[in-house]
Amino acid sequence: MKRAKVFVPGLILAVLLAFSGWNPAAADTVTLKLATYDPKTAVTLSAIPKFIELVAEKSKGKLKIDWIGGPEITPGRKQPAAVQKGVLDMSVAWAYVLHVKAAQVIHLSQLTPAEERKSGLYDFLVEEFAKSGFRYLGRTSTATPYVLVSTKKAEKPEDLKGLGFRTSGIYEPIIERAGGRKVRVASPEVYSALQRGLIDVRPAPMATVVDGKLYEVLKYWVGPGFFTAQNTVLCVNLKKFNGLPADLQKALVDAAAETEKGLVSLKKKEFDDAWQVAKKNGMVRIDWPKDVNDGFFNDVMAKSWARVEKSVGKELVDKMRPLMSQ
């Protein structure tokens, strides 16, 4: 008597799935691709690993941020457009200024990220960024002034007159107040431009100076610092965000908020540590008298507000300025 063959569909399926490598838990995980304007190794992005960790923790592993790289993936200037189109899910970049008028103003904030949330600025930015297809999540840097580092010893503002400044949009009021020459130089070419004397002054966060070993050619830190709030922000594609389940939206938003809480202490320490490295390598701090320092700072801020008002309009500035002031 022949025995009937018995098939166990569930067992066969289990064996096939085991060999395929399929993981039921992984199938329930949503992954968002993140790119950043600077390379992953840059100190400017030191808060990002913590953010990624917090997202995984708060979503209980259901939401994963895949940090796929920096400008080698998509140039920083083009990353917001890639997010807008859905080519990237998320980006940390300064170039949102090219798409959102309010982004052109945020570097002038005098508040910490926590204070911006209390003042109403955060909610205002969420609304403004949404108009261009972005969900604004928050800051990734703050408490990081752009300082004037120079190849020339400038003991007073007048000593900066005629010097070549590496220019960029937000630097222009500084250069105009100093009476300097605006010289456009791509970031990778700054070191050689300083060596060749094409530029004499590089406005930059101190950590950027150290990252690029610019202290080898820039020997003086002069005058006040500017724009401590920075203009780099973290955004996600709005449609992608709206398509997430409510609990994962909350995990993303809460992780960004918690990351912001530690930014001030983190970035102040990074600035201090970077200055110690620069000083050890021969950079000298040139202090101006307080009244001169304050006067130069106030002049630059006045020029900066005038510049953004001309670009984005008085109505927007009038809405934002009270939300950004102490």
* Residue linked to tokens 């939401």: 63
DSSP one-letter string for 95-119: GGGGT-GGGGTGGG--S-HHHHHHH
The token pair that represents 238 in the structure block: 């709005």
**Could you tell me which residues are beta bridge partners of residue 182?**
165
For domain 146-229+269-324, say whether CATH 3.40.190.170 is its number: yes
- Show the DSSP H helices in the chain as ranges: 9-20, 24-27, 48-58, 79-85, 113-119, 121-130, 172-178, 190-195, 206-211, 238-242, 246-261, 263-280, 290-312, 314-324
Say which residues have a Cβ less than 8 Å from residue 255's Cβ, sequence separation at least 6: 51, 54, 55, 57, 58
> Does residue 8 have a pLDDT over 70?
no
Q: Are 223 and 294 in contact (CB under 8 A)?
A: no
> Does residue 111 have a pLDDT over 90?
yes
> Does residue 5 have a pLDDT over 60?
no
Its pTM stands at 0.89
Radius of gyration of the chain (CA): 24
* pLDDT one-digit tens code per residue, 75-90: 999 999 999 999 999 9
Same topology between domain 27-143+231-263 and domain 146-229+269-324: yes
**Could you tell me which residues are beta bridge partners of residue 286?**
222
For domain 27-143+231-263, say whether CATH 3.10.105.10 is its number: no
**pLDDT class of 168 with cuts at 50, 70, 90:** confident
**pLDDT class of 28 with cuts at 50, 70, 90:** confident
* Residue linked to tokens 């085991």: 18
**Could you tell me which residues are beta bridge partners of residue 146?**
226
**Nearest partner of 170 among 126, 219, 114, 106, judged by Cα:** 106
**Could you tell me which residues are beta bridge partners of residue 221?**
149, 285
* pLDDT one-digit tens code per residue, 189-219: 999 999 999 999 999 999 999 999 999 999 9
**Nearest partner of 164 among 191, 190, 201, 194, judged by Cα:** 201
Strands 63-69 and 134-139: unpaired
Measured CA to CA, the distance from residue 141 to residue 129 in angstroms comes to: 18
Burial class (CB in 10 A: 0-12, 13-18, 19+), 69: middle
* pLDDT one-digit tens code per residue, 269-326: 999 999 999 999 999 999 999 999 999 999 999 999 999 999 999 999 999 999 999 8
- In three state form, how does the secondary structure of 2-17 look? CCCCCCCHHHHHHHHH
CA 100 vs CA 118, 135, 144, 174: distances in Å:
22, 12, 22, 23
Measured CA to CA, the distance from residue 115 to residue 94 in angstroms comes to: 21
Q: What is the mean pLDDT of the chain?
A: 92
